Structure 1
Amino acid sequence: MSLREQLIGAWKLQSYVEIPVDDSEPFYPLGKNATGIIMYTPDGYMSAQLMGEQRQHFGTGDWFNGSPEEYIEEAKTYIAYSGRFFVNEETQQLEHEMMVSLFPNWIGQQQQRIVSLDGDTLKLGPASPIMSKGKLVMSQLIWTRAQKN
């Protein structure tokens, strides 16, 4: 079975840790109990949604009428992007295209991912370091295949 075929479906986040390239202590940018879903569709699209633990509700209950502090906290505790995905079967490389993203700097980018699949466990990370909380890091995300309904 091809890498592309193995990716198709929904995956639940098990772990998301940042490993600084300066050998300082690893950290969990969304907390140790972050949750998330990443999905790969047969027609070549993907979506990743990750959120921190214990996110606070807006006081107004209105998404478009939050306080500046609520919007800051909302953005600091959520990662979201979607777009097409591409697999090079020969090199076993995966690329995510950011058509939409909560982080505007990513819109239009194509980012390579290091991918490792072992049964129902998917390990993903960037092919090169990224900035996170002021440090240059390598992200390590571990996902497990979501059970079919």
Structure 2
Amino acid sequence: MNRRHALGLFATAFISVVAFPDDGFSQVKSLKEQLIGTWIYESGKATREDGSAVDRPTFQGAVTYTAEGRFHFITVRSDAPKYASGDSARPSPEEAMAIASGVIAYTGTYTVDESTKTIHVNIETSSFPNLVGAPNQRRIVTSITDDELKFTNPRTQAGITLELVFKRAR
């Protein structure tokens, strides 16, 4: 093998590694593939139709999307009171009200419209019964990376827009 031939083989191999770093062909994951997994609630903001901000308490929570098209979502106020009785079936009226107004949880199925980056959810059960079967439940993904998911809930039952940020659970 002469030097020119060896140099040509080296150059071809180098260009192949640079141009095709992942087994020869890099593929972009679909939005649905990127969503799959559990995401931990990081932050959120709410606005009314007129653009004014809505005060919100601090929350903790998560959303999980499965490959089979199922999801669950939960947020709980970070300052939720502990029950003085220690019995989850016996809260005081004030404790019960604080918990009921500070928790939102729901589960169901979802589909993804890749072209509009929209997650369409069908809520089957919820801590807020008004969400069950409500039409046109959608979440618009505004940004997604391996580590962060941002989406907008463009119109809640209360008539506000939510912008939520999640970090991928590790």
Deviation per CA, 1:87-119, whole angstroms, max 9, x where unpaired?
A: 122332211111110001011225111112331
Contact 1:16/1:28 (8 A) holds in 2: no
How far residue 141 of structure 1 moved from its aligned partner, in angstroms, is 0.4
4+ residue runs over 4 A deviation: none
The corresponding residue for 1:145 is 168
1:94 aligns with 2:122: no
Q: Could you tell me which runs of 5 or more consecutive residues in structure 1 were left unpaired when the two chains were aligned.
A: none
1:39 aligns with 2:64: yes
More helix by proportion, 1 or 2? 2
How far residue 27 of structure 1 moved from its aligned partner, in angstroms, is 3.1
- Rg larger for: 2
Counterpart pick for 1:22 among 34, 50, 56? 50
How far residue 83 of structure 1 moved from its aligned partner, in angstroms, is 0.6
1:60 aligns with 2:85: yes
Contact 2:41/2:166 (8 A) holds in 1: yes
- Using the size of structure 1 for normalisation, the TM-score is 0.85
1:122 aligns with 2:153: no
How far residue 122 of structure 1 moved from its aligned partner, in angstroms, is 0.9
The number of equivalent residue pairs is: 140
SS at match of 2:163: strand
Q: Percent identity?
A: 31
The corresponding residue for 1:112 is 138
Alignment RMSD: 1.6
CA distance in 2 between partners of 1:141 and 1:12 (Å): 11
CA distance in 2 between partners of 1:131 and 1:98 (Å): 13
Q: Could you tell me which runs of 5 or more consecutive residues in structure 2 were left unpaired when the two chains were aligned.
A: 1-28
